[in-house]
Amino acid sequence: MRRPSRAALGGTAVALLAGAAVAWGLLTTRSGPGSAAPADTSAMAGLPPEARTPAARRGEASSSAWLEIPAPVVPFRSLGGDTVSLADYRGRVVVLNFWGTWCPPCRREIPGLVALQRRIAGHGATVVGLAIDSGTPASVRAWTRAHGMTYPIWLGDTGTAVRYYQTMGFPTTLLVDAGGVIRRRYLGPQTEEHLLGDLRRLGVDVPEAAASGPGAAAESPAGDQPPSSSPR
């Protein structure tokens, strides 16, 4: 009996991961800001143990919890072809958004991220969009321009997102502090004001006068302050 090659098995694993990502995107269309439906983790069987461990067992059960996890410094490609990573943004707070043009809840979230970038640019913080997309750099660039995405866009893949950042749903957003430490993990679409509230708690000085509308009530309670992060 002919045994399947390693390449074939690897291709199957990648296909399963992609399928899980698409399934998550469809499930989160029913979820409100900051929430997401449970994920099927069966597609993670071929990954290392640390990537297979459920988030709840790693102390990452809820987006309402403050974390202190060193962010992996993984090289990606920008739309212009340059090698980029979180190391390039040390000294700034990064809102790292994992998304795809194929993902309906990701697309719904983008206007809020565009508005957030306008408010935090020049205040020691930035949004970075990590596109998990099968399109060419040119097609992704055209899509981002059509939707006014002026913040940096990187190109990634599902395997890297899962292996290094335990991203099993889209959109997922990580809040990385100026020292390169993951402080928040958000599952599902987030609002501009919710993210802005946590950014302020990390010292991003955006004037209150720049806030817009009653959505400010979506911020976390004032007493929910992050613990100080140890130097890395």
Give the contacts of 161 (CB within 8 A, at least 6 positions apart): 98, 130, 132, 167, 172
CB 55 within 8 A of CB 41: no
In a domain, 226, yes or no: no
Say which CATH number the domain at 197 has.
3.40.30.10
In a domain, 15, yes or no: yes
| Per-residue confidence band for 25, with pLDDT thresholds at 50, 70 and 90 | very low
In a domain, 45, yes or no: no
AA identity, residue 107? R
In a domain, 227, yes or no: no
Cα angle: 62, vertex 49, 230; to 5 degrees: 55
Q: Which domain covers residue 179, as residue numbers?
A: 8-36+62-206
Beta strands in the chain (DSSP E): 69-70, 76-78, 83-84, 93-99, 125-132, 153-156, 172-176, 181-187
Residue 107 confidence (pLDDT) above 50? yes
In a domain, 218, yes or no: no
CB 76 within 8 A of CB 84: yes
Q: Which of 45-49, 71-75, 198-202 has the lowest mean pLDDT?
A: 45-49
In a domain, 119, yes or no: yes
Place of tokens 């002919």: 2
Task: Considering only residues 228 and 13, tell me which one the structure prediction assigns the higher pLDDT.
Answer: 228
Question: How do residues 144-190 score in pLDDT, each as one tens digit?
Answer: 999 999 999 999 999 999 999 999 899 999 999 999 999 999 999 99
Q: Which two tokens stand for residue 219?
A: 């911020």
Helix (H) or strand (E) holding 23: helix 6-27
Residue 20 confidence (pLDDT) above 70? no
Domain count, the chain: 1
Residue 58 confidence (pLDDT) above 80? no
In a domain, 136, yes or no: yes
In a domain, 200, yes or no: yes
